Structure 1
Amino acid sequence: MKTIRNTDVIFSFKPKMDPIERVKPGEVLKFVTNDCFYGQLTSEMQSLEELDYSKVNPATGPVYIEGAEDGDLLKVKILSIQIDSAGMGLTMAGQGILSHNADNTLPKVLPIENGHCLFNDIAIPIDPMIGVIGVAPSDEDGECPTAVPWKHGGNMDTSDIREGSTLYFPVKQEGALLALGDLHAVMGDGEVCFAGCEIAGEVILQVDLIKNATATWPLVETHEATMIIASGNTLEEATIEATEQAVGYLNRGLDISWEEAYILASLIMDLKFSQVVNSEKTVRSAIPKYILPTETLLKTL
């Protein structure tokens, strides 16, 4: 199994990037990741003025997947996520959904013990997930900093991107060029103060290709649902985009009219906030697999 070290990182997803490793479809590999602060924030006594903000949200990679071409889907199955023994929580003045009330900055060390994230005397069960994961964007979309979510993936901060889930990315450049980072030991949907339990760790995953099939936005498959992860300049834009995509999949996948698909979506589709604090907001629409299996949905692409 090849290991992608956390010394090989990017801070932007670009259409053209130099890969640091090459793998074949079906191969299993390990990514070693930094925390979102690139190891710069380790103490509650530190001043955030010390941080180099040009080195925030490092993503380990990129990795070239042989045979990946524009018009394919990259399939990424998350086999395991292992995290370090402590993470950081943080609120910053003027940040988060309650920025108008956030007057002070407070970093908080969050130890990880016995499968729990310790917040004062509260033990929160960990649920590790990947905040940043994506591929090279299209020429049209251009360079996307790792702090930004978009059609290539990026900083989607989606709690369902966890062990056991499978992601599907639209390939826009030769080799796909996969990179990831920004792990969270635990994070609530929305990431309301703009940080989860930020932590370093290791991710083992398997990559594969679905040839001649593409999607507008990344998909994540869980045990129960297939979700479309869409972003926009506002929550409303992201919500509309995620809903339009889901209704389209129901329309095509079940061979029903658009109107029937719209009614069905209102009955069975859940909308979930991923994150509400980045410059672009992210929402996911969840289609239950008992209504439309992932395999059937993918055949509509």
Structure 2
Amino acid sequence: MRVEIDLSTPLHEGGAGGHNRWHPDLEPIARVQPGEEVWVALRDSRDGSLTRESAHASLLETPSVAHPLTGPIWVEGAEPGDVLEIDVLSYETDDFGWTGIWPGSGFLGDLFTEPFLARWELADAVARSEEVPGVAIPGAPFAGVVGVAPSHELFAEALRREGALASTGAEMDQPSAELAAPQWAAEGLRTFPPRENGGNIDVRDLVAGSRLSLTVLVQGALLSVGDLHFAQGDGEVCIAAIETGGAITLRCNLRRNGWKPRFPAWESPGSPAPEGRRYLATTGIPLTDDGSNADMDLNLATRRALIEMLDYLGAEHGLSREQAYTLMSVAVEVRISELVDRPNALVSALLPLDVFED
């Protein structure tokens, strides 16, 4: 099956085939069967507004449309409580990409007061840019945003906890009608921070051959994908990867038994994770034990990821909590996957699956 989109018109100007807000009531643009291979066209994170002709100053004139997503896609038979297992089969990318620094953007934003745009030529599986001369970046394409629709309960909870945090003066994007697509979903959740439904997780390991597991929150799952990257470092520290458009080919399956992750969980085939080993990773965002949202708190995000791993090892491998905690200390790698999408940094805890002998 192919899910085509209208690339001639940006989503916020009425282009068909997608959305840029999370909302439980979005209408699906396609329906797929579990096990069916699906080719999905993807816009770049600024919906084509940056090109080879763009200059540094163009960043200041570019509408903040992130993220234009393709979807939602209805997965037949998906019910709340199921686990949607998304197998990434392949990617295609355009032959042009870009990386932007906006004044004040990213983890070191206080050090950068002027816009800077790197324009990348993507050819022969590497990226090269005249703005960053003498460098060739190997391609490892992945989708930065993959998510299912939030339930009405999660929708309300995310609005509540993020609104409470914003009221303290924390900087973040709150619901807004500006550039919303569809316009009726203007009060929907912004796509910048990752949440329990997935979204902007920016896990660079979601390359071809990987699997992402998301707990289904609404009937049909309502899967959406976007924010294609040709390559990215852990953290995406300046707030942009090598952004590009293209397509993903994926296959969805449903699991009803076993462990069900609260946050996205993923498996990697070993690239760009350490070569030769397959990893299972749990993730976490900065929520306290009572569900309050903190602002980019890596300690809390790590706590959430590790508690998820503790639960996984008990449910899937029958380990006691003491056994699981010991294994985590000697084998699990903790990695910052996303460091800039306020208020939710995302931490991954990676377990090499070859430690199990049976």
Q: TM-score range by the shorter chain?
A: over 0.9
Q: Which stretch of structure 1 is more off in the superposition, 139-148 or 176-185?
A: 139-148
Q: Partner letter of residue 117 of structure 1?
A: A
Q: CA deviation at 1:265?
A: 0.5
Alignment of 1:54-203 (within 5 A): 55-119=65-129, 120-142=133-155, 143-203=188-248
2: distance between equivalents of 1:208 and 1:254? 22
Distance 1:30-1:46 versus aligned 2 partners, 3 A rule: farther
Please point out which of 261, 283, 305 is paired with 1:229.
Answer: 283
Q: Does 1:44 align with 2:107?
A: no
Count of residues paired in the alignment: 293
Q: Partner letter of residue 308 of structure 2?
A: Q
Match of 2:177 in 1: none
> Which deviations, in whole Å up to 9, do the C-alpha atoms of 1:154-182 show, x marking residues without a partner?
00000011111011110010000011010
2: distance between equivalents of 1:117 and 1:261? 41
Match of 1:247 in 2: 310
Q: Partner letter of residue 149 of structure 1?
A: P
> Which deviations, in whole Å up to 9, do the C-alpha atoms of 1:184-203 show, x marking residues without a partner?
10100011111000000111
2:303 alignment partner, SS class: helix
Runs of 4+ in 1 over 6 A off after TM superposition: none
Q: CA deviation at 1:110?
A: 0.7
Q: Partner letter of residue 114 of structure 1?
A: D
Match of 2:320 in 1: 257
Match of 2:3 in 1: 3
> Which deviations, in whole Å up to 9, do the C-alpha atoms of 1:246-297 show, x marking residues without a partner?
122223333332122112111000111111011010111111112359xx9x
Q: Which stretch of structure 1 is more off in the superposition, 142-151 or 108-117?
A: 142-151
Q: Does 1:33 align with 2:45?
A: no
2: distance between equivalents of 1:11 and 1:58? 5
Q: Which stretch of structure 1 is more off in the superposition, 38-47 or 186-195?
A: 38-47
Match of 1:299 in 2: none
2: distance between equivalents of 1:3 and 1:65? 13
1:111 alignment partner, SS class: strand
- Provide the aligned C-alpha RMSD in A: 1.7
2: distance between equivalents of 1:47 and 1:215? 41
Q: Which stretch of structure 1 is more off in the superposition, 75-84 or 38-47?
A: 38-47
Please point out which of 280, 283, 291 is paired with 2:355.
Answer: 291
**Equivalent pair of 1:132/1:156 in contact (CA under 8 Å):** yes
Query: Normalised by the size of structure 2, how large is the TM-score?
Result: 0.78
Q: Partner letter of residue 64 of structure 1?
A: W
> Which deviations, in whole Å up to 9, do the C-alpha atoms of 1:125-168 show, x marking residues without a partner?
11111100100112222143222201101000000111110111
Match of 1:215 in 2: 261
**Equivalent pair of 2:3/2:30 in contact (CA under 8 Å):** no
Q: Which stretch of structure 1 is more off in the superposition, 168-177 or 111-120?
A: 111-120
Q: CA deviation at 1:97?
A: 0.9
The percentage of counterpart residues that share the same residue type is 33
Q: Which stretch of structure 1 is more off in the superposition, 222-231 or 193-202?
A: 222-231
